[in-house]
Amino acid sequence: MSSTLRTAEALADAGLVDPARLLELAEVARRPAVALTRGLAALIDPADPAAPIARLFLPSAAELVASPGENADPIGDEAHIPAPGIVHRYPDRVLLKVTHTCAVYCRFCFRREVVGPGKAAALTPADLERALAYIAATPAIWEVILTGGDPLTLSPRRLSALMRRLAGIQHVKAVRFHTRVPVADPARITPALVRAMKSPRQAIFVALHANHPRELTPAARAACARLVDAGVPMVSQTVLLAGVNDDAPTLAALMRAFVETRIKPYYLHHGDFAPGTAHFRTGLAEGQALMRDLRGDLSGLAQPTYVLDLPGGHGKVPVGPAYLAGDLDACVTVEDPWGTRHSYPPA
């Protein structure tokens, strides 16, 4: 990641932003961090700053606009932190935020206030011990989700040491990595890193975050293949974003691209109320309409679950369209994917 573009000046030097906007963009970049790998930069058309990939990664003055309801902790993580680096919102799983560093910083990130330069890069050894002690002392924890930041920015040595510690906690049966690295920095997915991710006794999963089909370049698909071929199942996470993927053809292309890469579509997240992200958010009705479009035309393998992470730390709920109407204990009306209504049970 040594050639990553990390300032507004570097973006201008690479021809990705107009130098006349440097003063404005420098102010934006002082808040949410800027980091753009060369591989993703190559997907951006400098002549079209509103194009989807540019919107994902290039800073915009719109980020300086505060909107009602926005919050530095939009999904309420802070109310569920029993130990450093741990978020324990659901009974059987915890987040373990091992680092606050990412390979690339997305402009809509819901953790934009706590990741990037100026933040602690990783848990201190003492804090990591406290986090692991909490997991070990809480038998209800069945799954540990490694996130941050991006856990795959850790070195194979550090990752291997962490996985050995988790393997020693008998009630932890699954470990999930939330990452953008296969898309942002595919060459980082080396045989050594893949070996470091494995566990002798736990199921390992990788959740890949991607939001547009163009992110799944040949290099990204090859990086994912190195994981899948090593026996690591993959699922996807996507955020519904205005101007990026808020149309049915783009979403369908993305979900099919995941399946073609042997990644099962998992979550389509409704946009969170992170500060300065109103220009990315869509309405729930729009999201439901898109899901209806996908249901009729897209293979079941390619269907994600549309979810809303409730503000205040109340968890995720599915918010896809409803297809039933009537008394569920009697006869109901069921709407098919193409909008035709049917009685069930049939007369």
Catalytic site residue from 93, 158, 165, 226: 93
Q: Residue 316 catalytic? A: yes
Closest to 339 in 3D by CA, of 313, 326, 321: 321
- Computed from CA positions of residues 235, 240, 244, 249, in that sequence, does the dihedral angle turn out positive or negative? positive
Asked if 230 and 198 count as a contact pair (C-beta separation under 8 A), the reply is: yes
Cβ atoms of 264 and 232 within 8 Å: the answer is no
Closest CA to 212 of 262, 276, 255, 271: 255
315 touches 90 (CB < 8 A): yes
109 is catalytic: yes
Q: Which among 272, 281, 292, 306 is annotated as catalytic?
A: 272
- Confirm if 232 and 195 have CB atoms less than 8 A apart: no
CA distance 185 to 138: 35
Is 176 considered catalytic here? no
Among residues 55, 107, 109, 224, the one annotated as catalytic is: 109
What one-character DSSP code corresponds to residue 64?
G
- Marked catalytic residue, from 89, 188, 214, 281: 89
Check if 90 is active-site. Answer: yes
Which ranges constitute the DSSP H helices of 216-302?
218-229, 248-260, 284-297
Active site residue 89: yes
Catalytic residue among 158, 165, 316, 323: 316
Catalytic residue flag (residue 331) = no
Residue 152: CA atoms inside 13 Å, Cβ hemisphere, count? 32
- The catalytic residue among 150, 185, 246, 309 is 309
Tokens read off for 74 = 């939009």
Write down the catalytic residue from 111, 112, 188, 292.
111
Catalytic annotation, pick one of 73, 97, 102, 214: 102
Whether 272 is catalytic is yes
323 is catalytic: no
Are residues 39 and 33 in contact, defined by beta-carbon separation less than 8 angstroms?
no
What does the DSSP assignment read for 288-347? HHHHHHHHHHS-GGGPPEEEEEETTTTEEEE-PPP-EEE-TTS-EEEE-TTS-EEEES--
**Residue 111 falls in the annotated catalytic set:** yes
- Cβ density class 293-318: b for 16+ within 10 Å, e for less: bbbeebeeebbbebbbbeeeeeebee
| Angle 13-66-10 from CA coordinates, rounded to 5° | 10
Catalytic residue numbers, as ranges: 89-90, 93, 102, 106, 109, 111, 272, 309, 316
